[in-house]
Chains A and B, each alone.
Chain A
Amino acid sequence: MNWNGKDVESYKQQKEYIDTAIMPLAPVSFGAEMKEAASQYEFIQLLTMLLEKQFKGRTLLLPPFSYQSKKREEDKIAALNSWSEELREAEFKHIFYFTSDSGWKLVEDKLDGTLIWVPSVPLEHMEPSYKYSLIEEQAKQFINIIAHKWQQ
């Protein structure tokens, strides 16, 4: 389900079936990493959209958790853990974070949820059809990861 009025209506009615939250983690900065951060987010956004399409009936794709790159590590972790706490209260059994920010990889064990770190590919000069098949290729492995988590 997407974060829009119509899908959230279905979510409310079918809550017991929709037990998985997907949240992109998106760093923002205006310095040297600005371009990289933006193109990473572009990639993560397309990837999570595709996963939502695949798993519409069981997942809710949330708006991204965005944060200033320069923020202290502890603060970011605390902010994200406050999200996971609320998601657990809302009875989401599975939480997936998607990001290209390698910073999270180092603190993975401090998070409540499955961190999926994806090295992003710059998409800006790519043909649309090529772009789609590339992201789809990537999506396949995550489809398996998610389906596998469900079976545990």
Chain B
Amino acid sequence: MSKQPVSRRQFLNYTLMGVGGFMAAGMLMPMVRFAIDPVLAEGAAGEFQTTNQKVDELTSTPVRVDFSYEQQDAWYTSEVTETAWVYKDENGEVVALSPICKHLGCTVNWEGDNHKNQFYCPCHGGLYEKNGNNVPGTPPTAPLDKYPTKVKDGFLQLGKPEPQTIA
């Protein structure tokens, strides 16, 4: 047993390193591609998705707007659906809030469970004001994220949600 030129452990180490090497190469390759082709990297960020929501139909009451788009990751292209709560504020500006609770990520509802004029999270009772500010004393510790908005041919377009700072 002791006379083996390559021990079991060594053999395993070598083979695993080999596999690891391939995997590292696989991970590096796309990174190199991004490094030499910044245009490619641009495309992913800062993109606006068009929704079915007509901007002139929005009122001061938040409505749910669902929108889908194709997302590509390393494995497959999939259709993702996102949701926003959208309304017009006192100045007629469009406000689009992410429904994802800042506590642990459940989906919040406008006036859920009879909470007048607030967003309600059914998971642990998180509450947010209409502008997205979290209500102190409930689990969330930050306001709801906000979507950048644009209008195209009368339809609402939404970008990537961004964190809000408490006003």
Contacts and interface: CB of A to CB of B under 8 A. Distances in A.
Nearest to A144: B122
Interface in B52-71: 68
Interface stretch (B6-14, B20-28, B104-112, B141-149): B104-112
Contacts, number: 39
B88 interface: no
A56 B122 contact: no
A56 B104 contact: yes
Nearest to A13: B104
Contact of A57 (B68, B81, B105): B105
Chief secondary structure at chain B's binding surface = loop
A79 interface: no
A129 interface: yes
A57 B79 contact: no
Chief secondary structure at chain A's binding surface = helix
Contacts of B79: 128, 132
B122 A14 contact: no
B116 interface: no
A54 B106 CA distance: 5
A141 B11 CA distance: 56
Interface string B77-95: 0010100000000000000
Contacts of B68: 128-129, 132
A147 interface: yes
A44 to B, nearest CB: 18
B104 A150 contact: no
B138 to A, nearest CB: 13
A55 B81 contact: no
Contacts of A35: none
Interface in B113-167: 121-124, 139
Given A128-B79, A132-B68, A132-B81, A58 B123 contact: yes
Given A57-B101, A128-B79, A147 B122 contact: yes
Interface string A1-39: 000000000100010011000000000000000000000
A18 B103 CA distance: 12
A10 B122 CA distance: 19
Interface of B: 68, 79, 81, 101, 103-107, 121-124, 139
Given A17-B123, A57-B104, A132-B81, 16 more contacts: A14-B104, A18-B104, A53-B107, A55-B123, A56-B105, A56-B106, A56-B107, A57-B121, A57-B123, A57-B124, A58-B104, A58-B124, A128-B68, A129-B68, A132-B68, A132-B79
